[in-house]
Amino acid sequence: MEIEQTVASPAAAAQQQQPQPQTLTGRFFRCLFTAIFYVQLILISALVIFLTLRGLVFTKSPTFHPKKWYTPLLSSVALSGLLSLAWQCFFLCNIAATSKATIILTPLLTFSVGIFLVTYGKTFVPGVGGVLVLFSFAQALHSWLFVTRRRLEFTFTMMALSTSALPARTRAIAVVSSILSVLYSAFSVAGIGGATATRTGLVDILFISLIVISLAWTMQVLKNVQVVAISKAAYVHFARYQVISVCGALCAALRSHLGSICIGSTLVPVFVVIRGMIRTANKMGNGSDRTMYAGHGDCAWVANHMILVGNRYGFVHVGVHNKGFVQASRDTWGEFRRTVGLEELVDADLTSSICFLSAFGIGAISALTAGIWEFNIHKDYFFQLTLYAFIIGYFVGRVSSAWLQACVMAYFVAYAANPEGANFDNSISERIARQDVEENKRLAENEVRQPEEEDVTYM
């Protein structure tokens, strides 16, 4: 259900919109990244138009057939939009069933794409397919750990609580954002096709790479604009019992926070990958997240300081308190650390993993659609179309799931600011207590295991 639109009192609205003081360096980088975003958008648009006209109007390639190239790829782009909207509907109807289906189906779909490339690819393409097959096994193992560690139930609880009263116009903004992502992807595809039609050397490959990189960053910014707007409205509801317009928050995000959003859209994906590698290495060494937070080792120190520079929860403070992204990330994570056990609980939340898997599944379906279609009509380009369709499907899926992640993030940040708030039940406090019990049990098992290993060594 969505919260009915009401207008907060002028005094309250002024209080919640009160800007935070910004440093000169922060203002400079926000303006710089805003300018970079708009300039790259203009330049890429001009490049796409130029490549499309050059490849399809002024130059006719005997080996490139536009209908055979564009039809499968544009159809897969449209399919990714439909799948994203369908996923939203399924999720609103049944959170648990949709999440479990996502966790089960995504590894299977990824495995299917890998097998398709291994079976029909040539030169280096089977190697790419092999990597996807291995990644599908990693996804399946990760998903199995979700279930065996019983972390899914708490994630479902947080999702249900945070989306029980959606801010008004949330669904409309999510649908419009998904449509915009599809349209911009189709526009980018036109330029990629134009460069493919006349590809004669490294220059056209460079043009295609620039278009794909720009597409990825623009999609990240579009997703995070949603996150800032929706999380602001949700935070105000959870923390202050007030209702503000999501459309107003969206306009404020585009007008005042775009620089911070662009900075976060650049830093967060990089930091997530690096911290994920550090956490994986820590787990393989029989450690836990709690030992990593304690700062044992150089890698743990890097992970602990990296998350203070940039984390996705900082987007909430960007919208609510008008902070720069780095300052917002530092303040948000500092609030998590003030409540014992909350930092570990937030960092282990599975909402982002479920959103990632859903987007990956949408990308896999789009890749199979475009790849199999193109393989049947024009084998020379099937790998390219499979790759492009996967990338576009993935980012369209990420844009469509931004509203869910924004609501969960706002709930955690609002709880960290005031754990005693009347809008919060004891779900988080009970999970933290259970988390402490599990950690003590793990430590006890390690203490028992170490003497046994020493006895075996001396024998």
Q: What angle do CA 105, 109, 111 make, to 5 degrees?
A: 120
Tokens of 57: 């109007």
Quote the CA–CA distance of 90 and 168 in Å, as a whole number. Answer: 19
1 by Cβ neighbours in 10 Å (0-12 / 13-18 / 19+) ranks as: exposed
Three-class SS of residue 340? coil
DSSP assignment letter at 7: -
Q: Phi/psi of residue 204, each to 5°?
A: -70, -35
Check: CB of residue 307 under 8 Å from CB of residue 333: yes
Give me the pLDDT at residue 292, please.
Answer: 59
* Residue type at 47 in one-letter notation: L
Question: Is residue 197 within 8 Å of residue 66, measured between CB atoms?
Answer: yes
Q: How many C-beta atoms surround the C-beta of residue 311 within 10 A?
A: 25
pLDDT at 17: 41
| Cβ neighbourhood burial of 130 (10 Å; 0-12, 13-18, 19+) | middle
CA 371/CA 377 separation, integer angstroms: 10
18-24 — which CB contacts under 8 Å span 24+ positions?
18/322, 19/321, 19/322, 20/321, 20/322, 20/323, 20/327, 22/322, 22/323, 22/324, 23/324
pLDDT for 14 equals 37
Under DSSP, the state recorded for 20 is: P
Residue at 237: amino acid letter:
H
pTM of the model: 0.89
Q: Please tell me the predicted confidence (pLDDT) of residue 326.
A: 92
Residues (pLDDT < 70) of the chain are: 1-22, 146-151, 200, 282-298, 300, 439, 442-459
Q: How many CB atoms lie within 10 A of CB 304?
A: 18
Question: Using CA atoms, how far apart are residues 366 and 57, in angstroms rounded to an integer?
Answer: 28
The whole-number pLDDT of residue 5 equals 40
pLDDT given at position 23: 75
Q: Which helix (H) or strand (E) holds 202?
A: helix 202-240
Residues 175, 159: Cα–Cα separation, whole Å = 19
What are 379's two structure tokens? 């084998």
CA 27 to chain centre: 26
Contact 405, 227 (CB under 8 A): yes
How many CB atoms lie under 10 A from the CB of residue 317?
27
| CB 163, CB 356: distance < 8 Å | no
Closest by CA to 366, choosing from 323, 398, 319, is 398
pLDDT at 339: 87
Helix (H) or strand (E) holding 453, with range, is helix 427-458
Give φ, ψ of 166 to 5 degrees: -70, 140
Which residues lie below 8 Å from residue 348, measured CB to CB, with a gap of 6+?
A: 151, 289
pLDDT of residue 239: 87
Burial of 209-225, coded b for 16+ CB within 10 Å and e otherwise, reads: ebbbebbbbbbbbbbbb
At 59 the pLDDT is: 74
DSSP state letters, 100-167: HHHHHHHHHHHHHHHHHHHHH--TTHHHHHHHHHHHHHHHHHHHHHHHHTTHHHHHHHHHHHHTTTBP
Distance, in Å, from the CA atom of 99 to the CA atom of 358, rounded to the nearest integer, reads: 8
pLDDT confidence of residue 27: 87
**Nearest 5°: phi and psi at 2?**
-100, 145
d(CA 285, CA 300) in angstroms, rounded, equals 12
Tens-place pLDDT, residues 380-423: 889 999 999 999 999 999 999 999 999 999 999 999 998 888 78
Classify residue 322 as left (phi > 0), alpha (psi -120 to 50) or beta. Answer: left
